[in-house]
Copies of this chain bind each other. A is one copy, B any other.
Amino acid sequence: MSQTQTITAAILVIGDEILSGRTKDKNIGYIAEYLTNVGIDLKEVRVVPDAEDEIVTAIRALKGRYTYLFTTGGIGPTHDDITADCVAKACGVTIDHDPRAVAILRQRYKPEDLNEARLRMARIPAGADLIENQISKAPGFRIDNIIVMAGVPQIMQVMLDNVMPSLQTGAKMLSRSVETGGLPEGIYAEALGQIAKAHPGVIIGSYPSFDGKTFLNRIVMRSRDDATLILVEKDVIEALNQLHEAKGTGYRLPL
């Protein structure tokens, strides 16, 4: 397996509306899948309310632990949008109307419509790079290893597209997955545990899902090394087939 640097990340979701359950978050799953696809390992997610202490504490904790910290939410024009100020505080820099961001807002709004509230969206911590927002224009930004994005999913998604080329990415985590053909977890757990022990470099997970009547079990193997992954998948399939044979199910997974 080649020695490649591991690039890690955390997501910080900022917003009372997620914690109250009123809004169902769609950003965590989207960013998680996106990062996996570009070879960044998402290691932690936190959701915190629109409260300065909570946000600043979480930013400080997460920015030091991971290569990147992605935040969503709290960068609009209303009084509850305090993310930019919290990021500035956590980074120990000043924050003011950024001329580049003001220029973007001037293109978007007529002078009489560019009121103080909207100008709040141009408050950017000193030293940050802007992240373009083709949808509603008000930019996101990146400072140090923190990427600050909107909470509205469609806007977050274009910001993520726009910032990604400037980020370091690692070797992509590859995965293979096997559906067990009706074998329940309790039957293959021992064999799977042995395979996992024999291949500490491969992350092996067992994921049951339930459709209201029956369980479907999926074994997922993840590694950055495809050759090892192929070997492990073969071991898993052979183990499952032995168990199918022992139970006389008549089922056989293709190798």
Contacts and interface: CB of A to CB of B under 8 A. Distances in A.
Contacts of A205: 15-17, 50, 78, 80
Nearest to A35: B21
A197 B78 CA distance: 12
A149 to B, nearest CB: 14
A186 B44 contact: no
B215 A136 contact: yes
Chain A contact patch, size range: 35 or more
A49 B43 contact: yes
Interface of A: prevailing SS: mixed
A186 B117 contact: yes
A209 B17 CA distance: 12
B28 A42 contact: no
A203 B49 CA distance: 11
A53 B79 CA distance: 38
Contact of A118 (B29, B116, B189, B220): B189
A28 B47 contact: yes
Contacts of A79: 189, 192-193, 196-197, 204
A168 interface: no
Interface string A99-136: 00000000001000101111011000000000000011
- What 6 A-B pairs are tightest by C-beta distance, nearest first? A21-B33, A117-B189, A21-B32, A79-B193, A45-B47, A24-B29
Interface of A: 13, 15-25, 28-36, 41-50, 54, 76-80, 109, 113, 115-118, 120-121, 135-136, 152-155, 173, 175, 185-190, 192-193, 196-197, 203-210, 212, 215, 220, 222
Given A115-B186, A115-B189, 18 more contacts: A13-B45, A16-B205, A19-B41, A19-B45, A21-B30, A21-B35, A28-B28, A44-B54, A45-B45, A45-B46, A46-B46, A76-B206, A77-B189, A78-B193, A113-B187, A117-B190, A117-B193, A136-B215
